[in-house]
A and B are shown apart, each in its own frame.
Chain A
Protein backbone atom coordinates (compact mmCIF):
# COMPACT_ATOMS: atom_id res chain seq x y z
CA UNK A 1 0.00 0.00 0.00
CA UNK A 2 2.84 2.38 0.92
CA UNK A 3 4.45 1.66 -2.48
CA UNK A 4 1.26 2.58 -4.29
CA UNK A 5 0.80 5.77 -2.23
CA UNK A 6 4.36 6.98 -2.69
CA UNK A 7 4.50 6.20 -6.39
CA UNK A 8 1.14 7.98 -6.90
CA UNK A 9 2.45 10.98 -4.96
CA UNK A 10 5.64 11.04 -7.05
CA UNK A 11 3.60 10.78 -10.27
CA UNK A 12 1.30 13.62 -9.20
CA UNK A 13 4.27 15.87 -8.41
CA UNK A 14 5.79 15.07 -11.82
CA UNK A 15 2.49 15.68 -13.66
CA UNK A 16 2.20 19.02 -11.83
CA UNK A 17 5.74 19.96 -12.84
CA UNK A 18 5.28 18.84 -16.44
CA UNK A 19 1.81 20.18 -17.16
CA UNK A 20 2.09 23.37 -15.15
CA UNK A 21 2.28 26.73 -16.89
CA UNK A 22 5.64 27.75 -18.24
CA UNK A 23 6.23 30.29 -15.48
CA UNK A 24 9.66 31.07 -14.03
CA UNK A 25 8.66 29.26 -10.82
CA UNK A 26 7.81 26.12 -12.75
CA UNK A 27 11.04 26.32 -14.75
CA UNK A 28 12.93 26.61 -11.46
CA UNK A 29 11.01 23.61 -10.07
CA UNK A 30 11.98 21.54 -13.14
CA UNK A 31 15.62 22.51 -12.82
CA UNK A 32 15.55 21.72 -9.08
CA UNK A 33 14.17 18.27 -9.90
CA UNK A 34 17.03 17.69 -12.38
CA UNK A 35 19.68 18.90 -9.83
CA UNK A 36 18.14 16.66 -7.17
CA UNK A 37 18.33 13.65 -9.51
CA UNK A 38 22.00 14.39 -10.29
CA UNK A 39 22.88 14.79 -6.59
CA UNK A 40 21.01 11.62 -5.60
CA UNK A 41 22.69 9.79 -8.51
CA UNK A 42 26.17 10.94 -7.40
CA UNK A 43 25.51 9.93 -3.79
CA UNK A 44 24.29 6.49 -4.87
CA UNK A 45 27.44 5.92 -6.92
CA UNK A 46 29.52 6.23 -3.76
CA UNK A 47 26.98 4.73 -1.36
CA UNK A 48 25.02 2.06 -3.29
CA UNK A 49 23.82 0.44 -0.06
CA UNK A 50 21.85 3.65 0.56
CA UNK A 51 19.58 2.69 -2.35
CA UNK A 52 18.64 -0.55 -0.54
CA UNK A 53 17.95 1.39 2.65
CA UNK A 54 15.67 3.91 0.84
CA UNK A 55 14.02 1.05 -1.07
CA UNK A 56 13.15 -0.79 2.13
CA UNK A 57 11.79 2.47 3.54
CA UNK A 58 9.51 2.74 0.48
CA UNK A 59 8.55 -0.90 0.89
CA UNK A 60 10.38 -1.98 -2.30
CA UNK A 61 12.57 -5.11 -2.06
CA UNK A 62 15.84 -3.95 -3.65
CA UNK A 63 17.49 -0.60 -4.29
CA UNK A 64 18.01 -1.53 -7.96
CA UNK A 65 14.25 -2.05 -8.33
CA UNK A 66 13.50 1.32 -6.79
CA UNK A 67 15.96 3.00 -9.16
CA UNK A 68 14.33 1.24 -12.11
CA UNK A 69 10.85 2.46 -11.06
CA UNK A 70 12.04 6.02 -10.59
CA UNK A 71 13.97 5.99 -13.89
CA UNK A 72 10.86 4.70 -15.71
CA UNK A 73 8.77 7.51 -14.24
CA UNK A 74 11.37 10.13 -15.14
CA UNK A 75 11.73 8.85 -18.72
CA UNK A 76 7.94 8.69 -19.14
CA UNK A 77 7.58 12.22 -17.76
CA UNK A 78 10.31 13.47 -20.06
CA UNK A 79 8.48 12.04 -23.09
CA UNK A 80 5.21 13.75 -22.07
CA UNK A 81 7.02 17.01 -21.35
CA UNK A 82 8.72 16.97 -24.76
CA UNK A 83 5.45 16.10 -26.49
CA UNK A 84 3.68 19.05 -24.88
CA UNK A 85 6.59 21.37 -25.60
CA UNK A 86 6.57 20.41 -29.28
CA UNK A 87 2.81 21.04 -29.37
CA UNK A 88 3.29 24.52 -27.92
CA UNK A 89 6.02 25.11 -30.48
CA UNK A 90 3.72 23.94 -33.28
CA UNK A 91 1.07 26.47 -32.21
CA UNK A 92 3.66 29.29 -32.38
CA UNK A 93 4.83 28.05 -35.77
CA UNK A 94 1.22 27.93 -37.00
CA UNK A 95 0.70 31.55 -36.01
CA UNK A 96 3.74 32.65 -38.03
CA UNK A 97 2.64 30.66 -41.09
CA UNK A 98 -0.90 32.06 -40.71
CA UNK A 99 0.27 35.67 -40.56
CA UNK A 100 2.45 35.02 -43.60
CA UNK A 101 -0.59 33.67 -45.50
CA UNK A 102 -2.58 36.81 -44.59
CA UNK A 103 0.28 39.06 -45.71
CA UNK A 104 0.68 37.21 -49.00
CA UNK A 105 -3.04 37.53 -49.63
CA UNK A 106 -2.91 41.27 -48.96
CA UNK A 107 0.08 41.65 -51.29
CA UNK A 108 -1.72 39.69 -54.02
CA UNK A 109 -4.75 41.99 -53.63
CA UNK A 110 -2.56 45.09 -53.93
CA UNK A 111 -0.78 43.61 -56.96
CA UNK A 112 -4.12 42.79 -58.59
CA UNK A 113 -5.50 46.28 -58.04
CA UNK A 114 -2.28 47.85 -59.37
CA UNK A 115 -2.41 45.67 -62.49
CA UNK A 116 -6.05 46.62 -63.04
CA UNK A 117 -5.16 50.31 -62.63
CA UNK A 118 -2.29 49.97 -65.12
CA UNK A 119 -4.52 48.15 -67.60
CA UNK A 120 -7.18 50.84 -67.53
CA UNK A 121 -5.55 53.46 -69.86
CA UNK A 122 -4.81 50.75 -72.47
CA UNK A 123 -8.42 49.68 -72.43
CA UNK A 124 -9.54 53.27 -72.75
CA UNK A 125 -7.23 53.72 -75.77
CA UNK A 126 -8.77 50.71 -77.41
CA UNK A 127 -12.23 52.15 -76.88
Chain B
Protein backbone atom coordinates (compact mmCIF):
# COMPACT_ATOMS: atom_id res chain seq x y z
CA UNK B 1 0.00 0.00 0.00
CA UNK B 2 1.33 3.44 -0.86
CA UNK B 3 0.56 6.73 0.84
CA UNK B 4 -1.74 7.62 -2.05
CA UNK B 5 -4.04 4.78 -0.94
CA UNK B 6 -4.54 6.61 2.34
CA UNK B 7 -7.69 8.17 0.90
CA UNK B 8 -9.26 4.72 0.87
CA UNK B 9 -7.49 3.67 4.01
CA UNK B 10 -9.23 0.79 5.73
CA UNK B 11 -10.80 1.35 9.12
CA UNK B 12 -8.01 -0.49 10.85
CA UNK B 13 -5.55 2.26 9.96
CA UNK B 14 -7.86 4.84 11.47
CA UNK B 15 -8.12 2.80 14.66
CA UNK B 16 -4.37 2.25 14.95
CA UNK B 17 -1.79 4.38 16.72
CA UNK B 18 1.96 4.53 16.25
CA UNK B 19 4.07 4.87 19.40
CA UNK B 20 7.48 6.49 18.83
CA UNK B 21 9.78 6.61 21.86
CA UNK B 22 12.50 9.22 21.41
CA UNK B 23 15.48 10.31 23.44
CA UNK B 24 17.68 13.17 22.20
CA UNK B 25 16.54 12.74 18.61
CA UNK B 26 16.01 16.39 17.68
CA UNK B 27 18.11 16.02 14.50
CA UNK B 28 15.87 13.37 13.00
CA UNK B 29 12.56 13.14 14.87
CA UNK B 30 10.68 15.61 12.61
CA UNK B 31 11.60 13.60 9.49
CA UNK B 32 10.59 10.33 11.13
CA UNK B 33 7.23 11.70 12.26
CA UNK B 34 6.49 13.44 8.95
CA UNK B 35 7.21 10.18 7.09
CA UNK B 36 4.93 8.30 9.48
CA UNK B 37 2.16 10.87 9.06
CA UNK B 38 2.00 10.03 5.35
CA UNK B 39 0.82 6.55 6.34
CA UNK B 40 -0.83 6.82 9.75
CA UNK B 41 -3.22 9.45 11.11
CA UNK B 42 -2.57 8.82 14.80
CA UNK B 43 0.93 9.08 16.23
CA UNK B 44 2.15 9.44 19.81
CA UNK B 45 5.75 10.48 20.33
CA UNK B 46 7.07 9.89 23.84
CA UNK B 47 9.99 12.15 24.62
CA UNK B 48 11.91 10.20 27.24
CA UNK B 49 13.38 13.15 29.14
CA UNK B 50 15.53 14.47 26.28
CA UNK B 51 18.04 17.24 26.99
CA UNK B 52 17.74 18.64 23.46
CA UNK B 53 14.82 20.00 21.39
CA UNK B 54 13.16 16.64 20.70
CA UNK B 55 9.96 17.73 22.45
CA UNK B 56 9.46 20.94 20.44
CA UNK B 57 10.59 19.34 17.15
CA UNK B 58 8.08 16.54 17.61
CA UNK B 59 5.36 18.99 18.67
CA UNK B 60 5.87 21.02 15.49
CA UNK B 61 4.79 18.06 13.37
CA UNK B 62 1.35 18.08 14.98
CA UNK B 63 1.50 14.64 16.58
CA UNK B 64 0.61 13.98 20.21
CA UNK B 65 3.73 14.38 22.33
CA UNK B 66 4.08 13.05 25.87
CA UNK B 67 7.10 14.12 27.85
CA UNK B 68 8.86 12.21 30.59
CA UNK B 69 10.39 14.66 33.03
CA UNK B 70 13.25 12.18 33.60
CA UNK B 71 15.05 9.84 31.26
CA UNK B 72 13.69 6.41 32.19
CA UNK B 73 14.50 4.13 29.28
CA UNK B 74 12.95 2.84 26.07
CA UNK B 75 10.72 0.29 27.82
CA UNK B 76 9.16 2.91 30.07
CA UNK B 77 8.61 5.29 27.14
CA UNK B 78 6.94 2.54 25.14
CA UNK B 79 4.66 1.60 28.02
CA UNK B 80 3.69 5.27 28.51
CA UNK B 81 2.68 5.54 24.85
CA UNK B 82 0.80 2.24 24.88
CA UNK B 83 -1.09 3.07 28.05
CA UNK B 84 -2.02 6.47 26.67
CA UNK B 85 -3.22 4.78 23.46
CA UNK B 86 -5.25 2.25 25.45
CA UNK B 87 -6.88 5.16 27.27
CA UNK B 88 -7.75 6.72 23.92
CA UNK B 89 -9.40 3.43 22.85
CA UNK B 90 -7.20 2.61 19.87
CA UNK B 91 -7.48 -0.96 18.58
CA UNK B 92 -4.04 -1.48 17.07
CA UNK B 93 -0.65 -0.40 18.37
CA UNK B 94 2.51 0.01 16.34
CA UNK B 95 5.86 0.49 18.06
CA UNK B 96 8.36 2.36 15.92
CA UNK B 97 11.89 3.54 16.80
CA UNK B 98 12.56 7.26 16.77
CA UNK B 99 16.02 7.02 15.19
CA UNK B 100 14.84 6.60 11.61
CA UNK B 101 15.88 2.97 11.22
CA UNK B 102 12.41 1.69 10.34
CA UNK B 103 10.37 2.04 7.20
CA UNK B 104 6.73 3.15 7.73
CA UNK B 105 5.63 1.00 4.77
CA UNK B 106 6.84 -2.08 6.68
CA UNK B 107 4.63 -1.04 9.60
CA UNK B 108 1.68 -0.74 7.25
CA UNK B 109 2.32 -4.20 5.79
CA UNK B 110 2.59 -5.64 9.29
CA UNK B 111 -0.70 -4.03 10.25
CA UNK B 112 -2.21 -5.70 7.18
CA UNK B 113 -0.76 -9.06 8.29
CA UNK B 114 -2.29 -8.62 11.73
CA UNK B 115 -5.68 -8.32 10.06
CA UNK B 116 -5.19 -11.38 7.87
CA UNK B 117 -3.61 -13.75 10.38
CA UNK B 118 -5.17 -14.97 13.59
CA UNK B 119 -2.43 -13.49 15.80
CA UNK B 120 -2.02 -10.88 18.54
CA UNK B 121 1.42 -9.55 17.64
CA UNK B 122 3.39 -9.21 14.42
CA UNK B 123 7.08 -8.77 15.17
CA UNK B 124 9.52 -7.30 12.71
CA UNK B 125 12.53 -9.39 11.75
CA UNK B 126 15.55 -8.09 9.86
CA UNK B 127 16.73 -11.63 9.17
CA UNK B 128 13.69 -12.88 7.22
CA UNK B 129 13.94 -12.30 3.46
CA UNK B 130 15.01 -8.75 4.07
CA UNK B 131 17.64 -6.66 2.35
CA UNK B 132 19.01 -5.27 5.61
CA UNK B 133 22.79 -5.17 5.76
CA UNK B 134 23.48 -5.74 9.43
CA UNK B 135 27.00 -4.81 10.61
CA UNK B 136 28.88 -8.05 11.34
CA UNK B 137 29.47 -7.54 15.10
CA UNK B 138 25.86 -6.52 15.62
CA UNK B 139 24.70 -9.51 13.59
CA UNK B 140 26.77 -11.87 15.75
CA UNK B 141 25.33 -10.40 18.97
CA UNK B 142 21.78 -10.49 17.64
CA UNK B 143 22.16 -14.11 16.57
CA UNK B 144 23.52 -14.93 20.03
CA UNK B 145 20.49 -13.11 21.43
CA UNK B 146 18.23 -15.30 19.31
CA UNK B 147 19.85 -18.45 20.74
CA UNK B 148 19.63 -17.16 24.32
CA UNK B 149 16.00 -16.13 23.82
CA UNK B 150 15.21 -19.59 22.51
CA UNK B 151 16.75 -21.12 25.64
CA UNK B 152 15.42 -18.66 28.25
CA UNK B 153 12.02 -17.86 26.77
CA UNK B 154 11.53 -21.10 24.81
CA UNK B 155 10.23 -19.14 21.90
CA UNK B 156 11.19 -19.59 18.25
CA UNK B 157 12.24 -16.27 16.74
CA UNK B 158 14.71 -15.12 14.12
CA UNK B 159 15.48 -11.62 15.45
CA UNK B 160 15.69 -9.90 18.82
CA UNK B 161 15.53 -6.25 19.86
CA UNK B 162 13.70 -5.15 16.76
CA UNK B 163 11.62 -2.12 17.74
CA UNK B 164 9.05 -2.50 14.97
CA UNK B 165 6.01 -4.42 16.22
CA UNK B 166 2.31 -4.33 15.57
CA UNK B 167 -0.17 -5.64 18.12
CA UNK B 168 -3.82 -5.70 18.92
CA UNK B 169 -5.46 -4.29 22.03
CA UNK B 170 -5.30 -7.61 23.87
CA UNK B 171 -1.53 -7.79 23.49
CA UNK B 172 -1.09 -4.09 24.30
CA UNK B 173 -3.00 -4.62 27.53
CA UNK B 174 -0.47 -7.27 28.57
CA UNK B 175 2.57 -5.03 28.12
CA UNK B 176 3.62 -4.05 31.60
CA UNK B 177 7.39 -4.04 31.72
CA UNK B 178 9.56 -4.93 34.69
CA UNK B 179 12.56 -3.83 32.63
CA UNK B 180 12.12 -0.18 31.80
CA UNK B 181 15.37 -0.01 29.80
CA UNK B 182 16.36 -1.80 26.58
CA UNK B 183 15.89 -5.21 28.20
CA UNK B 184 12.14 -4.70 27.72
CA UNK B 185 12.66 -5.89 24.15
CA UNK B 186 13.58 -9.34 25.49
CA UNK B 187 10.96 -9.25 28.24
CA UNK B 188 8.28 -9.04 25.55
CA UNK B 189 8.93 -12.71 24.77
CA UNK B 190 8.13 -13.62 28.39
CA UNK B 191 4.94 -11.57 28.19
CA UNK B 192 4.00 -13.28 24.92
CA UNK B 193 4.56 -16.71 26.48
CA UNK B 194 2.91 -15.99 29.84
CA UNK B 195 -0.24 -14.59 28.23
CA UNK B 196 -0.45 -17.15 25.42
CA UNK B 197 -0.29 -14.42 22.82
CA UNK B 198 -0.08 -15.65 19.25
CA UNK B 199 2.62 -14.05 17.15
CA UNK B 200 4.25 -14.17 13.77
CA UNK B 201 7.35 -12.52 12.40
CA UNK B 202 7.34 -10.29 9.38
CA UNK B 203 10.38 -9.33 7.29
CA UNK B 204 11.38 -5.71 7.70
CA UNK B 205 14.20 -3.58 6.41
CA UNK B 206 16.36 -1.65 8.84
CA UNK B 207 18.47 1.23 7.62
CA UNK B 208 21.80 1.50 9.41
CA UNK B 209 23.01 5.05 8.99
CA UNK B 210 25.98 6.58 10.79
CA UNK B 211 23.42 8.45 12.91
CA UNK B 212 21.46 5.34 13.90
CA UNK B 213 24.67 3.45 14.63
CA UNK B 214 25.88 6.22 16.89
CA UNK B 215 22.48 6.46 18.57
CA UNK B 216 21.87 2.72 18.87
CA UNK B 217 22.68 0.78 21.99
CA UNK B 218 26.37 0.08 22.44
CA UNK B 219 27.52 -3.50 22.03
CA UNK B 220 28.58 -3.57 25.68
CA UNK B 221 24.96 -3.03 26.71
CA UNK B 222 24.18 -6.59 25.61
CA UNK B 223 26.01 -7.79 28.74
CA UNK B 224 23.79 -5.63 30.96
CA UNK B 225 20.69 -6.92 29.23
CA UNK B 226 21.86 -10.52 29.53
CA UNK B 227 22.54 -10.09 33.28
CA UNK B 228 19.06 -8.68 33.85
CA UNK B 229 17.46 -11.44 31.84
CA UNK B 230 19.31 -14.17 33.72
CA UNK B 231 18.29 -12.66 37.07
CA UNK B 232 14.74 -12.41 35.87
CA UNK B 233 14.87 -16.01 34.68
CA UNK B 234 16.07 -17.21 38.10
CA UNK B 235 13.42 -15.11 39.82
CA UNK B 236 10.65 -16.52 37.62
CA UNK B 237 11.77 -20.06 38.27
Contact = CB atoms under 8 A, between A and B. Distances in A.
Interface of A: 15, 19, 80, 83-84, 87, 90-91, 93-94, 97-98, 100-102, 104-105
B234 A97 contact: no
Nearest to A15: B234
Contacts of A15: 234
B70 A93 contact: yes
Q: Which 5 A-B pairs have the closest CB atoms?
A: A94-B76, A101-B66, A19-B235, A98-B80, A94-B72
A104 B67 contact: yes
B231 interface: yes
A94 B46 CA distance: 13
- State the majority secondary structure of interface residues on A: helix
A104 B80 CA distance: 13
B69 interface: yes
12 contacts: A19-B235, A90-B180, A94-B72, A97-B72, A97-B76, A98-B79, A98-B83, A100-B69, A101-B46, A102-B87, A105-B64, A105-B84
B117 interface: no
Interface of B: 46, 49, 64, 66-70, 72-73, 76, 79-80, 83-84, 87, 178-180, 228, 231, 234-235
B235 A102 contact: no
B119 to A, nearest CB: 28
A124 B38 CA distance: 33
Nearest to B228: A87
A98 B68 contact: yes
Contacts of A83: 231
Contact of A98 (B64, B76, B178, B234): B76
A87 B76 CA distance: 12
Contacts of A87: 178-179, 228
B51 to A, nearest CB: 15
Contact of A97 (B69, B87, B178): B69
Given A91-B180, A94-B180, A101 B69 contact: yes
A30 to B, nearest CB: 16
Contacts of A104: 66-67
A94 B180 CA distance: 8
A91 B80 CA distance: 12
Contacts of A98: 68, 76, 79-80, 83
Nearest to B65: A105
Given A15-B234, A19-B234, A97-B49, 19 more contacts: A19-B235, A80-B231, A84-B231, A84-B235, A87-B179, A90-B72, A90-B180, A94-B79, A97-B72, A98-B76, A98-B79, A98-B80, A101-B67, A101-B69, A102-B66, A102-B87, A104-B66, A104-B67, A105-B66
